[in-house]
Amino acid sequence: MIFDKNRTSRPFLSRDNVGVSVIWHAVEAHQAVEKLDGRQEGLSEPEADERIERFGPNIIALGRPEGPLTLFLRQLNSPLLYVLLGSGAIALFLGKVTDGAVVLGVVALNAVIGFIQEYRAQKEITALGQMVPDTANVRRDSRVTRVPVADVVPGDIVLLQSGDRVPADLRLLAVKNLQIDESALTGESVPVIKQAGVVSEDSAIGDRTCMSYGGTMVTSGTGVGIAVATGGGTELGRISELLGKTEVMTTPLTRSMASVSLWLTFVILGVTALLFGVGWLRGYSIADATVAAISLAVAAIPEGLPAIITIALAIGVRRMAIRRVIIRSLPAVETLGSTTVICSDKTGTLTKNEMTVQSIWTSSGEFQLSGVGYDPEGLLLKNGKPIASVPPELVDVARAGMLCNDSALVQSPKGRWVAEGDPTEVALIVAGRKLGLHEKDLGLEWPRIDSVPFESERQLMGTLHRSPQGQHVIFIKGAPEVVLQRCESLSNGEPLNKTELRKEIENLAATGLRVLAMASRVLDKPFERLDAHHLNDGFFLLGMQGMSDPPRPEAIASIEQCSTAGIKVKMITGDHAATALAVGRQLGLLHNGVVVSGTELVKISDEELGRTVASAGVFARVAPEHKLRLVSALQKNGEIVAMTGDGVNDAPALKRADIGVAMGITGTAVSRQASDMVLTDDNFASIVSAVEEGRRVFDNLVKSLVFVLPTNIGEALVILVAVMFFPIIEGHPVMPILPVQILWVNLVATVALALPLAFEAMERNVMARPPRNPKAPLLDAFVVARTVYIALLMTAGAIAFFHFELRMGLEQGLEQARATREAQTAAVTTIIVFQAFYLITCRSLNRSVFSLGLFTNPKVFIGIGSILLLQLGFVYLPFMNSLFGSAPLRLEAWLRTIAMGAVVWPAVALEKLIRTRLRAHHTARSSKMA
């Protein structure tokens, strides 16, 4: 089965492609062959060709990606940009070429910024085809042949061996020690032992042991199966179809900005129309009234805001990359700060997906090993206290686990410990290394003579070795009950108390541990060939090792941090309920002591599900459609949901969630494609770091908004006052600021000054407050009040300085045009100096800048210095004078603008003081009432 992003999807008759609704895992193997018109010797080539024509190739169709032109045009889909486009076109029509070109250039710049980001994200998506092999071994015309996976058809007899990826959904006909890693599809933390017998109809996908599914990996053994579903009819195809139908949720920031844009558009259009009418009634020509209206539109629209938001989010992306989080969608940065629920997969996220021996039982009692995962570092403990020396009986059981073993532990070039083979066997190797043993040394001291591999029917494995003393010794490991039946006594010669041992096994299993027993037998008469009957009796029990995929220590701490921050964490896994219960208990997620299973989810209504998902913290044996339903139910409850996952089965829920979080190490290409962000270390703790960073980004975005909006409103008020009250001289209105000068302020000065706020330090106790309400407006009462307050100050200062400088120029004998240009330049400079002082006060919306430390964010002063240099060019460079209609200013004019601009500092300090005291009064009053 392969994936084709350019292929158009074709309908399939049913899940099994052959028009017959069959529950394949409940059908006997020979019946499956009959229903598919197959046979053990395989299809003939003509039959296979006919079935390809009939059912289509083994391809999962994906939708075509958006082309570059579509991506670019989508960046223009904003009401505010429509207003700017119209304004620019009208300006060009009226002959105002410079004004029109600059306005249209602004629109193009914003579109290019958005296009580049989305185009890069699209190019970075890894192809889904990495999930599947290119070729498969099938039996055709009684011969085994290797065919392209796309040519596998229903009824093909497929042969599997260790290392293969399964090419299609198969009903297994025969197996030999076959184990398949289905974690990408089901979330199961260990390979599944397969068999050919039927299972019950209502078995969950992870319990269908007679089936193997396309895209999963054979870890050991061999098998033969008949293809029952290909392409879109497979489980992987069904998930891909579910993924295609899944609605992508817009982020809180996107929704808020859309609301603000729509609101501003209507207000700007209304005020612009009113201004045009007022100007015309006052005697403006149609052209002059239109230019005035365009000026107001250009002034009121925060053209630089999209660039400020994009760059601020990009800075957040860079900071998150340092914290091992890669962001694929820029708005996801802010959404993280709004997250109210994190739905986390268990395997590989809350745990490391690395089986770890945690408990070892011997005749001298129970011991513990510290450390998590495949890193062979850890301490030996008894009753929670470290032990300096390793008891001999502990060495015996560890040695048996390392010798009776066909797997390996290797270190990658990057220093990461990696399992080769069965994870449970690798866990035994790691345990031995922690106790000072090494498998290579043991292999030399205890060379293997022969072995009997693990088989599901026997549930044990045996190996024959020559000891350093020259004796022949058999070691066995396997299911405790099976090993106990073959033992006569303990290794120290004491008789077996099987009742007590069974209680010990039950106690270990109750804590979520998978238990393996080890035993040995010294041969009286040495032999060289080991057969299954040699493993039946005469053994001494060495001990038992209990292992699990334990929670990451940092995950436990991060969940506690989430609780403090008002974020609920829920574990959603495809693993068994007992395993989920044990891990959930260790993580502190069992809020009501109950694990909800996928079977239970199927039976409850959407209304009941809403209540269940609100109260329960752990969900087990969950299928892809269940995960999708859980995320949707949480969203209906008003939650902002972050969903983690690494498998194909997680992809639809990742896409539906407000934030989809994929794993970078163990994650599949499908999950990464559906996600908004990728964890490079697969660690739950990195999500919490990202949430913290997301809150910081949102705080700084609000600061930017509070900084930017007063400038736009102030400029619009300047134009409004001018049209309503300024005189008309020589048939033309006097304007204190021109459209092209407004764009200089909005695009150059405002953007350059706002960007340093993105580097502002994190607010105190950012993770000690609840998530912000996603329904709360971006322009809340505080933002509106501050905007109006500062805008009025700015308007008053700009108009006062324009009048003062115009009068001074005329008194000094300057021509009207020259005096007007100098006065307009003074007004623009006043606004920019005003912005520079206001920027310093915006570093914190509540605290004094002196409590932050005046120079703790040096980028603020770099921004101020940069814009003052640019403003000097605006004032004194001839080509800038020609482009923007500016004129040189005298020194005394600069001193007056600086004095006027500095007024904003005490004005904002007074506003903060009043607001802080009102808040303290309200808190005290609420406490008394409580």
Residues designated catalytic = 345
What the block records as the tokens of 21 is 């609704």
* Reduced 3-state DSSP string for 362-387: ECCEEEEECCCCCCCCCCEEECCEEC
Element (H, E) at 179: strand 169-181
Alpha helix (H) residue ranges in 744-780 = 750-754
Distance between CA atoms of 553 and 550, rounded to whole angstroms? Answer: 9
Contact between 869 and 752 (Cβ < 8 Å): no
Structure tokens at 83: 């207003």
Q: At what angle do helices 97-123 and 286-300 cross, to 10 degrees?
A: 30
- Indicate the DSSP class of residue 529: -
User: Is 819 strand, coil or helix?
Assistant: helix
Q: Backbone phi, then psi, for 640, in 5-degree steps?
A: -100, 115
Q: Write down how long the chain is.
A: 930
* H-helix or E-strand spanning residue 719: helix 684-725
- Residue 710 CA to residue 754 CA, distance in Å, equals 12
Orientation of helix 624-636 relative to helix 606-615, angle to 10°:
80
d(Cα 345, Cα 339) in Å, to the nearest integer? 17
Instruction: Decide: helix, strand or coil at residue 475.
Output: strand
CA 678/CA 877 separation, integer angstroms? 48
Burial per residue of 98-120, b for 16 or more beta-carbon CB atoms within 10 angstroms, e otherwise: bbbebbbebbeebbebbbebbee
Which tokens belong to 26? 């409940």
Q: What count of other Cβ atoms lies within 10 Å of the Cβ of residue 680?
A: 14
Strand partners, 176: 222
> Which residues lie closer than 8 Å to 295 by C-beta, 6 or more apart?
719, 735, 737, 738, 739, 742
Question: Which positions ≥6 away from 895 have C-beta within 8 Å?
Answer: none
Which distant-in-sequence residues (6+ apart) come within 8 Å of 217 by Cβ? 163, 164, 165, 166, 180, 181, 184
Spell 129-160 as b/e; 16+ CB within 10 A means b: bebbbeebbbbbeeeeeebebbbbbbbbbbbb
